[in-house]
Chains A and B, each alone.
Chain A
Amino acid sequence: MSEPQTIAVEFKRVMKSFGTKRVLNDVSFHIDQGQALCLLGRSGTGKSVTLKLIMALMRPDSGEVWVDQNNVVGMNEHGLSFVRRKLGYLFQDAALFDSLTLYENLALPLSRLTRKSKDEIDDVVHRVLTDVGLGADGAKYPSALSGGMKKRAGLARALVLEPKILLADEPSSGLDRITASEIDELLMRCKSEHRTALIIVTHDVRGARRIADRVAVLDKGNLVAFGPVDEVSQSENEVVRKLITE
């Protein structure tokens, strides 16, 4: 018997502007636990803003953002701290802490947010680094890592607390096809092994076809298409067709 579907993230009529520029205009969608949603769209159409709204790093001008059945809009810092523990975030440029080694980057959230002993933290960090193929690189500083290694390290840090929802901002951008494919494999493993909900901002349509259960296409702040990839591919919207059938 399949598990009942629970909504992992839901946007309800979300608006967000920067000055006079509206980047999200009345956007509504939801994604269930264990599903993968790829956000597609041209640059500057509000994809990264969508992720930051989910993480409550920004607040919408209006509307509601529900994360694991908590409306994060207007929530206080204590509540946000509780919700953020369920989320992992892979930033576009990985955003690893320059002054910490790779090991310390991963150990930091574990030592701060869990009651694990030093040995347990060592085990978890080593396991996650090995999972992303960086088992031997824990002592390195981010400045010594290549672009692909940084992305994998950022993914490792996002996964180290075993989040229910993983947000990834262009996980394969700037990477060669093989490395991008390896990152995609890691993301798919998260989804299949841990029922992690994935929300991925990407320009890589081939990757989106492999990973996504749903795709959402944003254009000039509007959600112009949402649904399974095959369904969205049939859209008559010109932007959607150009993006999906590249």
Chain B
Amino acid sequence: MRWLSNLFEFVGKVGLFSLRIVVDSFRPPFELAQLTRQVAEVGNKSLALIVVSGFALGAVMTLHTRNTLVTFGATALIPAVQAVSFFVEIGPLVAGLLLAGRVGSGIGAVLANMRASEQIDAIESLSIDSFKFLVVPRVLACVIALPFLTLFMDFAGLLGGLLSEELSSHITPALYINRAFDYLQWSNFIAPTLKTAVFGFIIGSVSSYFGFTTDKGAQGVGEAATNSVVLSSLLIIVADVVLIKCIFFLFPETAI
């Protein structure tokens, strides 16, 4: 039963840590310079990864979907299937998981290194609230950047699908786009994109927790990076289930 009590203790600590992030986000001073720096760090530096991955994934998905739809004589639906699947699920989820890998590990490792090298103590010694200065901007940057990155992934996926279809069936770009958006409603697009803000909060808060609270010196840096990726990826997938149910409840027309 010891593991169970440890689990509850851990969940409680992460919960309190996350609650403090929410509270401190609304408490001045607002670290706008740090936030700008972190949005650039999270957003700009992840853009290439997101776009290339989305494009490749879009192309591969079209190749697979094509085989199935050809069997049913429904090749005209390929753009719509591509658009709906990317905007509703693949884009948000894959963008979240990719960001958990790239940014989550980075946040965990950087903060753990700052803890090990006494930089966090140094910030405190300068009368600066290290939590507000280091953690809150990183989490908010993830919350802000991920929905935008998801849009890039969605459109890159469509572009990858378009290229794949163009090579296979010589469909014109205009027709592809037209068919792609035929079945797409605003509710298919807005709610799933906004749910990635929650993914961003999960990535930022979990990674910051592991990095900020480590006390294992250099060894803690590697552990924080690994744990950040593993737990935030897992929580993103679990949260996705809950959020989809919430979206179906709020926008019943999206539940076909």
Give A residues with C-beta under 8 Å from B: 52, 55, 57, 77, 80-82, 84-85, 87, 89, 91-93, 95-98, 108-109, 112-113, 157, 161
Contacts and interface: CB of A to CB of B under 8 A. Distances in A.
Interface string B188-202: 000000000000000
> DSSP class of A's interface residues: helix, strand, loop or mixed?
mixed
A97 B125 CA distance: 13
A113 B128 CA distance: 8
B127 interface: yes
B119 A57 contact: no
A87 B122 CA distance: 12
Contacts of A97: 114, 119, 122-123
B117 A95 contact: yes
A89 B128 CA distance: 14
B9 interface: no
A22 B89 CA distance: 55
A91 B113 CA distance: 15
B126 A108 contact: yes
Interface in B120-171: 121-129
Contact of A91 (B114, B122, B128): B122
Mostly, the B contact residues are helix
23 contacts: A55-B121, A57-B121, A57-B124, A84-B124, A84-B126, A89-B121, A89-B122, A91-B118, A91-B122, A95-B117, A95-B121, A95-B122, A97-B114, A97-B119, A98-B113, A98-B114, A98-B119, A109-B126, A109-B127, A112-B126, A113-B127, A157-B122, A161-B126
A82 B113 CA distance: 27
Contacts of B126: 84, 108-109, 112-113, 157, 161
Interface of B: 113-114, 117-119, 121-129
B127 A52 contact: no
Contacts of B123: 97
Nearest to A113: B127
Nearest to A98: B119
What are the 5 A-B residue pairs with the smallest beta carbon separation, nearest first?
A95-B122, A95-B118, A89-B125, A109-B126, A81-B127
A98 B115 CA distance: 12
Contacts of A113: 126-128
A95 B124 contact: no
B127 A85 contact: yes
B122, B123, B124, B128 — which one has the most chain A CB atoms within 10 A of its CB?
B122
Contacts of A84: 124-127
Contacts of B122: 89, 91, 95-97, 157
Contacts of B125: 55, 57, 84, 87, 89
Nearest to B128: A112
Contacts of B114: 97-98
A91 B127 contact: no
Contacts of B124: 55, 57, 84
Nearest to B41: A99
Nearest to A97: B119
Q: Considering residues B113, B121, B126, B127, which has the most beta carbons from chain A within 10 angstroms of its beta carbon? A: B126
Nearest to A48: B118
A95 B127 contact: no
A186 to B, nearest CB: 19
A96 B119 CA distance: 6
B128 A52 contact: no
